[in-house]
Structure 1
Amino acid sequence: MRPQDVRALALMLPEVVEGAHMGNADFRVGGRIFATLWTEEDRAVLRLAPEHQAMLVESGPDLFSPVPGAWGRRGWTNLDLPDADEEALRGALLAAWRTTAPAALVAAQEPA
């Protein structure tokens, strides 16, 4: 996947806005960052629940890795874009969005 794919897919999620964080594009919902795009490094950094992070790292160690240090222990996860397919990217972005979005917004998106 390419950085423009991350941007397009992230902005398709409800109430997402693009911003900037430390010189990198980021994607926010409810004023909180759920994904950051590191274009020069061909990676995205996603805010996941630690247990979801562990599952993704175990199932796709070539794609996913915890961010070093305390941020990674809190669930922030690298996604290697060149090796990712659309399904992996979509799933990871949606998980990050759900982790970060206000509960009422997440609930409103669930099927009845």
Structure 2
Amino acid sequence: MADSESFARIALTLPGATSGPHFDRTAFKVKRTFATLAANGLSANLKFTPDEQEFKCQLAPEVFKAIDNGWGRQGWTTMWLSAATDEDVAAALAMAHVHAVGVAKKR
């Protein structure tokens, strides 16, 4: 079972990743935000492509759920940490991080 401490630790090991406040959450970014951690530490939101989101939600519906709004249609996905392993967290963060790095390189 993953938790907020392991999520933050893993996120900050990714190249160039930093963290900072984002409303009531902690954001992890490389120029662009690729993940946010809820203040209560129970869930995190990650930025996937819509195809990646669909895959993750079908593969592990107990761990991943598309956010039910416009952000969700862009790929933002909730990850329930209590249902995830540290390996799930690491894979999801790596996937989301790639997009933030790609955006940063284009600028």
Normalised by the length of structure 2, the TM-score is: 0.91
Identity %: 31
What SS is found at the alignment partner of 2:6? helix
Aligned residues: 104
1:16 aligns with 2:17: yes
List runs of 5+ in structure 1 lacking aligned partners: 106-112
The answer to whether the Cα contact below 8 Å between 1:3 and 1:39 also exists between their aligned partners in 2 is no
| Equivalent-residue separation in structure 1 for 2:62 and 2:24 (angstroms) | 26
Question: Normalising to structure 1: TM-score of the pair?
Answer: 0.87
C-alpha RMSD of the superposition:
1.4
Give runs of ≥4 in structure 1 deviating > 4 Å: none
Q: How does 1:1-112 map to 2 (within 5 A)?
A: 1-29=2-30, 31-40=31-40, 42-102=42-102
> Higher RCO, 1 or 2 (CA under 8 Å, sep at least 6)?
2
Structure having the higher Rg: 1
- Which ranges in structure 2 are unaligned for 5 or more consecutive residues? none
